[in-house]
């Protein structure tokens, strides 16, 4: 192969890789951003990073997406005496991305 062909191939692979990384980021990434913005990590940890109250590492296998949604919007509907803060005013899109992200933790 000529060097030019190799360079073109390498460039094409790089573009494909970056595109893939970006599309992955727009699913898990958005929810992760919401998680960070809402400061869930004050109380919760994921992969050992964050508060000590409760790890959310495998929450996607413990809870159904509807239940994760309820925990965020109205934790007292899940556990009457919980100390978790409610997030009733989260925009629908943020809530959806956040729930999708947490559901992916298995
Ligand atoms: C003030 C501390 C605090 C904050 C902030 C907080 N939580 Fe919680 N959360 C808790 C506690 C404590 C529990 C455990 C339930 C209990 O025993 O009260 C819990 C439970 C949960 C559960 C259920 C976990 C399970 O396995 O049953 C989910 C899901 C959850 N929180 C998500 C979130 C998300 C998402 C955020 C950010 C939007 C958040 N929490 C912010 C304290 C908090």
pLDDT digits (tens, 9 = 90+) for 11-60: 666 666 555 555 555 556 899 999 999 999 999 999 999 998 899 999 99
CA angle 31, 37, 42 (to 5 degrees): 105
pTM value > 0.75: yes
Distance 80 CA to ligand 1 centre (A): 13
The answer to whether 84 touches 75, Cβ cutoff 8 Å, is yes
In this structure, what are the phi and psi dihedrals at residue 70, rounded to the nearest 5 degrees? -65, -40
For 17, other C-beta atoms within 10 Å of its C-beta total 10
**CATH classification (class only), 31-103:** mainly alpha
Q: Where are the domains of the chain?
A: 31-103
Return d(Cα 16, Cα 22) in angstroms, integer.
Answer: 10
**Ligand 1 site: residues with CB under 6 angstroms?**
35, 38, 40, 42-44, 53-54, 59, 62-63, 68, 71-72, 79, 82-85, 87, 98, 102
């Amino acid at each position: 192969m000529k060097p030019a062909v190799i360079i073109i191939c390498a460039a094409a692979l790089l573009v494909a890789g970056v595109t893939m990384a970006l599309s992955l980021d727009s699913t898990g990434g958005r929810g992760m951003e919401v998680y960070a913005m809402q400061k869930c990590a004050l109380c919760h940890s994921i992969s050992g990073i964050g508060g000590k109250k409760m790890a959310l590492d495998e929450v996607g296998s413990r809870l159904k997406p509807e239940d994760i949604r309820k925990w965020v919007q109205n934790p007292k509907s899940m556990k009457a005496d919980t100390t978790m803060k409610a997030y009733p005013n989260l925009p629908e899109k943020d809530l959806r991305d956040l729930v999708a992200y947490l559901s992916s933790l298995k």
